[in-house]
Amino acid sequence: LLFQQLIPRAQLVEAQGLVGGLDFAARAGEDRPYTVVNFISSADGRATFHGRSAPLGDAGDRELFHALRERAEVVLAGTTTISVERYGRLIRDPDRRRRRIDAGQTPEPLACVVTRSGKVPTDAPLFTEPEARIVVFGPVGLDLGRVEAQLEVVELDPGELTLTTVMRRLRGGFGIRSLVCEGGPTLFGALLMEGLVDELFLTVAPKLTGGGNSPPITSGPELPELQLLELIWALEHENSLYLRYALR
Ligand SMILES: NC(=O)c1ccc[n+]([C@@H]2O[C@H](COP(=O)([O-])OP(=O)(O)OC[C@H]3O[C@@H](n4cnc5c(N)ncnc54)[C@H](OP(=O)(O)O)[C@@H]3O)[C@@H](O)[C@H]2O)c1
């Protein structure tokens, strides 16, 4: 699968060659993992169509999505996203699993879930996957019952149950250096508010959803100040744009 690379200069590139060479972990600071957020948006700025992101996607988006997962030590996703998008096993492709093992990593990333309400979608296929490793950060007394996945629950006092604490724990307690957040908009808005994002990979789909209640890629309170971005690359494939931004 070849993209037309616009920036820095036009040439044909493969997602695996581009993303596979990225060493997010090497960029981690002491306080938290290097954090990359991945989203797709319609051309009219919506994150879903009929409640799901899948209709917006295409082969290029899926390729980048899986290439990013392959680079991550942790995949973070919101509880609603895990439920709506029916999250299952994070990496199925044997080649991707093999490359991770060869690089001294686990075959798939640790899945991270954060909940303040304690409502975790344990009926999602991810939780019934014996090979899946999941850490849930939640309130004291959180009981998720029996799940087949390898589950660790970290209980936090209400004042401590913030994304900043979660990131610090992942970095310090779990030794995590790279994290890919797959949304949704509520979680992304909250991460931005706490200043925890390093990069945004944004697919702009050549599709219009029209009106309706679909959110943009962020929701929640407005930021106190505009967050500025630096465009690192821009790829094109079959009318979709694939933009990689660094947060300033
Ligand atoms: N276009 C895309 O690329 C894309 C990507 C992902 C998802 N989506 C779509 O987005 C929709 C779901 O997104 P969503 O915004 O409704 O939900 P979400 O971001 O997936 O999950 C929100 C949940 O995250 C939990 N959370 C934990 N800590 C939080 C914090 N500090 N601040 C805020 N939330 C926190 C909350 O659970 P508690 O209430 O238990 O605390 C909250 O209810 C779905 O329709 C999905 O298809 C689109």
Q: Give me the helix-helix angle, 59-71 and 94-102, nearest 10°.
A: 30
- Residue 226 is classified by DSSP as P
Cα-to-centroid distance, 180 and ligand 1 (Å): 14
Residue carrying structure tokens 């994304």 = 163
The pTM of this model reads 0.96
Q: Which residues pair with 154 in a beta bridge?
A: 137
CB 12 within 8 A of CB 5: yes
CB 180 within 8 A of CB 38: yes
Task: Please name the residues in contact with 38: beta carbons below 8 A apart, sequence gap of 6 or more.
Answer: 64, 65, 68, 180, 181, 182, 183, 200, 201
Q: How far apart are CA 233 and CA 7, in angstroms?
A: 5
**Which residues does ligand 1 sit against, CB inside 6 Å?**
39-40, 47-48, 51-53, 78-81, 84-85, 114-117, 119, 163, 182-187, 190, 219
Q: What is the pLDDT along the chain (248 residues), one digit of tens a residue?
A: 887 676 556 688 898 889 999 999 999 999 999 999 999 999 999 999 999 999 999 999 999 999 999 999 999 999 999 999 999 999 999 999 999 999 999 999 999 999 999 999 999 999 999 999 999 999 999 999 999 999 999 999 999 999 999 999 999 999 999 999 999 999 999 999 999 999 999 999 999 999 999 999 999 999 999 999 999 999 999 999 999 999 99
